[in-house]
Chains A and B, each alone.
Chain A
């Protein structure tokens, strides 16, 4: 690689990191937070004894998981304006990613809730708890431990999927890379640099997952 390529990589490093800090990371965090709330609601709907609630959640999850994220993104950003609903790039991206995370994480959370032994519900009822209180104080904390590894997967996928937002004009890591690449015609170098940065972010997240798992594992036998 020539010296000028190295120089270009060095010069573009800051714009790319800037794209990650102001685009990729906040986009992923906001979508994940909203998506998790959505997912918890959907998981509880799925577990509900009321058929219609469970069905609604089931259809939602099926649609989200059965259609490409890029298509969902385009429907919201390019499709909705034809119905008179115009949403800016950023909110469009957050809406699409949140809906997507909601669908995937719902099944994770549902499985985690089901993995808590029935006796835990009974002990909670026995000490006088209501269903809601049993859920929040006894069941969910235990479900949280089980769901950390699969939810970490979802989050890491999301971080990488935010690159799709470049296609609806959100300025984030990948869009910065595309712009520098187009300008300099150094496609290989710039896209590899972007890939490396995504990888570094995911490495940090993985180690964060390790810390979280260790913390939540303090009350189980090893």
Chain B
């Protein structure tokens, strides 16, 4: 395999159970550099669990995740074999899990900003405290990112002083400031008032156009159609089908996909 078509993210046979409930039966997916993968599916289908496994927030019981770094020359691929870890955090080498986290950054459904820190502090915390990059350099970069999403003036505000849409944009900036290779979005607009959804989706679309590699769990089918390069329908802990968004959302092959899309289009 030549370096150019090497996948940035390769997931093989990912399994995860919570007690007796097997949430992920066997998930296989690949994401190439610059690709945007949208995960759609009914609630409880396991799509969010897939995303959380990619950031090490959940430790899978089986399967592998391989992720390469930002730069092929300096960042060798790292592979985590979860079967060896038996679903326990302690079973995964700390360094490997750390690398997985370093390379991916997540934007949460409920933003999860740190309420006791200002907007700027929220963005700088990871790069300065964890990554130990020079404060001045990080601040310049953080301010530029905040400016870019139209929140430069809010640098010293606390999260409670911002609207949901503004908080989510800070959440995105916080993720970007970590300089990840892979951006993960967990239903980034589900908690927002309808009139605030547009700003956030527009920003994600811009990032996609800039070449960021992303995995997005979303219910926004229009958005998936327009922004994603690939869409995967997750149901019952497996990927039922995946393909080109325009094609798949118009003409799904599987009955379950058809039913799901129908329910979204005609909720009542």
Contacts and interface: CB of A to CB of B under 8 A. Distances in A.
Interface of A: 117, 119-120, 122-129, 133, 137-138, 141-142, 145, 218-221
Nearest to B174: A127
Contacts of B130: 127-129, 133
B27 interface: no
A90 to B, nearest CB: 38
Given A218-B158, A221-B160, A119 B115 contact: no
12 contacts: A119-B108, A122-B108, A124-B114, A125-B55, A125-B56, A126-B101, A126-B175, A128-B101, A141-B116, A142-B116, A218-B158, A219-B115
Contacts of B106: 126
Contact of A219 (B55, B102, B160): B160
Contacts of B117: 219
A29 to B, nearest CB: 26
Top 4 A-B pairs, shortest CB-CB distance: A127-B126, A123-B112, A119-B112, A128-B130
Contacts of B120: none
B112 A122 contact: yes
B114 A120 contact: yes
Interface of B: 55-57, 98, 101-102, 105-106, 108, 110, 112-117, 125-126, 129-131, 158-161, 174-175, 178
Contacts of B108: 119, 122-123, 126
Contact of A120 (B101, B112, B158, B161): B112
Nearest to B89: A131
A127 B112 CA distance: 12
B154 to A, nearest CB: 14
Given A128-B126, A142-B115, 18 more contacts: A117-B112, A119-B108, A119-B112, A120-B114, A122-B57, A123-B113, A124-B114, A126-B55, A126-B108, A126-B175, A127-B105, A127-B126, A128-B131, A128-B178, A133-B129, A137-B129, A218-B158, A219-B158
B183 to A, nearest CB: 11
Contacts of A142: 115-116
A128 B130 CA distance: 6
Contacts, number: 62
Nearest to A219: B158
B35 to A, nearest CB: 21
Nearest to B126: A127
B57 A125 contact: yes
Nearest to A123: B112
B107 to A, nearest CB: 9
A129 B55 CA distance: 12
A128 B100 CA distance: 10
A219 B112 CA distance: 14
A127 B56 CA distance: 11
Contacts of A126: 55, 57, 101, 105-106, 108, 112, 175
A182 to B, nearest CB: 52
A119 B107 CA distance: 11
Given A122-B57, A218-B158, A221-B160, A127 B125 contact: yes
A145 B178 CA distance: 28
A185 to B, nearest CB: 56
A220 B160 CA distance: 6
Contact of B102 (A117, A128, A133): A128
Contacts of A220: 115, 160
A212 to B, nearest CB: 14
A61 to B, nearest CB: 27
A137 B129 CA distance: 10
A220 B110 CA distance: 16
Contacts of B105: 126-127
A138 B116 CA distance: 8
Contacts of A120: 112, 114
Nearest to B52: A122
Contacts of B129: 129, 133, 137
Contacts of A145: 116
A8 B92 CA distance: 74
A218 B157 CA distance: 11
A133 B132 CA distance: 13
B125 A137 contact: yes
A220 B129 CA distance: 24
A128 B112 contact: no
Contacts of B101: 125-126, 128
Contacts of B57: 122, 125-126
